Chain A
Amino acid sequence: MKYMLLLNRMADALPESGTPDLDRINQEYAVAVAAMGQAGVLIDCAPLAAGSSTTTVRVRDGETIITDGPSAEIKEQLGGYTIIECADLDEALKWAAIIPAARDASVEVRPIVAAQAPV
């Protein structure tokens, strides 16, 4: 059985790179990630870019509607995930638009921060 662990944070973005705050967070995460890696349970993990760099995609009546920021629709529930590798946002938005969730609710396109392999 695979489980998805959803990590929440108190701030919109990670601390600035090169700051003691980020170093501390990295160290703390490295400990947790190393433990999961040694136990053989870890599949993948990565921090996400600032929520403000999110783009929400909706398809209504066959038309793609793109908005800045996360979805503000409180009735929507997180229902799945897809990780894709694309050249740029335009390409990612195109793929997002073919996912049924874009038609039924919305798909949030959020950049993954490129981090060093954890283990």
Chain B
Amino acid sequence: MSGPLDQLIRQHWWAAVAALCRLTGDLEAAEDAVQDACVVALERWPATGVPANALGWLIGVARHKAVDRLRREAIRGAKEAASMREPEGSGPEQDTAPEPVDQLSLVFLCCHPALDASARVALTLRSVCGLSTAEIAAAFLVPEETMAKRLVRARAKIREARIPFRVPSQAELPDRLGAVLRVIYVLFTEGHMASRGDALVRGDLCDTAISLARGVAGLLPDEPEAMGLLALLLLTDARRAARTDDLGELVLLEDQDRGRWDRDMIAEGEEILETALGLGRPGPYQLHAAIAACHSTAVSAAATDWRQIALLYGELIRYEPTPVVEANRAVAVAMAEGPAAGLVILDALAHHPQLWRWAQLHIARAELLRRLGRDDEAAGAYRAALELEPAPASRSFIARRMRELTGG
């Protein structure tokens, strides 16, 4: 999809599938019906023009298509199909009006913890973001058939195990929202870090994740963590243009041309973060966003407030007691107090079996050793990172550093 009409349709996909999911009680039926309605729209709209209420139009047509399909396939009894059609005479507008609660229900359905974690991401891309199976398969570099099976299986589980289409209760919300935000974060990271494929940054996935985060934050205005995630993604993605050089290679934060950072995005991210923090319920995404803001607002790499960043990572450990957070704190400490102080923290993590297999740790150690002038040990750490088969862009970064170290 690329034309303006396609984009318009994709913009309405979430609300339309959500409304149809409420009407049909079945995710697959809802998607099929909205897909049918989109085909009709693409046929008619170029001639007739886009209706004033395009979303209402799509939902209305999709509803007819859903009834037709139910009749044709006789999935359910004729009575039920008829009952779905009934409100039409009394007031179609009422029935076809999109409801924010439906949109939330759809996200919570696709991100339900009873679904496999990778299926949650795929299903959200399909049902909420409107990507085709082929596009999702391409994003995750798996054959289309594999992705199609994953989606079929996830929808079958929703139906067979009766995973509910509803907004979780206040008591359930923290956990369930956590699962939703996690899906969006994973999606963004996949675009931002691109562990698969040769491109370092895949902007389309970042854009999708941001618009999803924007939607969820807008639907849950009292949830500071939803805002925190949106702020984090905006503040991080604002650096996109400066993150890779002309050859597509990784440019470290300290070497980036800050003039290429998107100032509007940074300003928006900061504003949203302020609002979130103002609600007085801190959480990991708000802390991550605050760290990103420290970088984005520094006029130069040298002006970065590393002491503040080290403190924020210290706070973050309370929510995410992982060695990865501790490793990041070590880097911040190294910047604030010197590489030796950071190296002490990193070396203390060295015996952690899981972290030792994490290439980024070795790259961080290598960088600190290099700054301390311990070139042989630095080269050894870079080699250790290479053995862990990091992403292609990281590989070429390491190769560059190794050449510098050996003077070749």
Contacts and interface: CB of A to CB of B under 8 A. Distances in A.
Q: Which of A52, A68, A87, A111 has the most CB of B within 10 A?
A: A68
A88 interface: yes
Nearest to A93: B114
Given A50-B156, A50-B160, A53-B161, 20 more contacts: A52-B156, A52-B157, A53-B156, A54-B161, A66-B113, A66-B114, A68-B119, A68-B157, A87-B162, A88-B163, A88-B164, A89-B112, A89-B114, A89-B162, A89-B163, A89-B164, A90-B168, A111-B160, A111-B161, A111-B162
B115 A68 contact: yes
Interface string B147-164: 000000100110011111
Contacts of A111: 160-162
B68 interface: no
Contacts of B160: 49-50, 53, 111
Contacts of A55: 114, 161
A69 interface: yes
Interface residues of A, number: 17
B116 interface: yes
Nearest to A94: B172
A68 B114 contact: yes
Nearest to B172: A90
27 contacts: A49-B160, A49-B161, A50-B156, A52-B156, A52-B157, A53-B156, A53-B160, A54-B161, A55-B161, A66-B113, A68-B114, A68-B115, A68-B117, A68-B119, A68-B157, A87-B164, A88-B162, A88-B163, A88-B164, A89-B112, A89-B114, A89-B161, A89-B163, A90-B164, A93-B114, A109-B161, A111-B161
A34 B71 CA distance: 35
Nearest to A54: B161
A90 to B, nearest CB: 6
B178 to A, nearest CB: 12
A107 B78 CA distance: 38
Nearest to B159: A53
Nearest to A65: B113
A67 B117 CA distance: 9
Contacts of A87: 162, 164
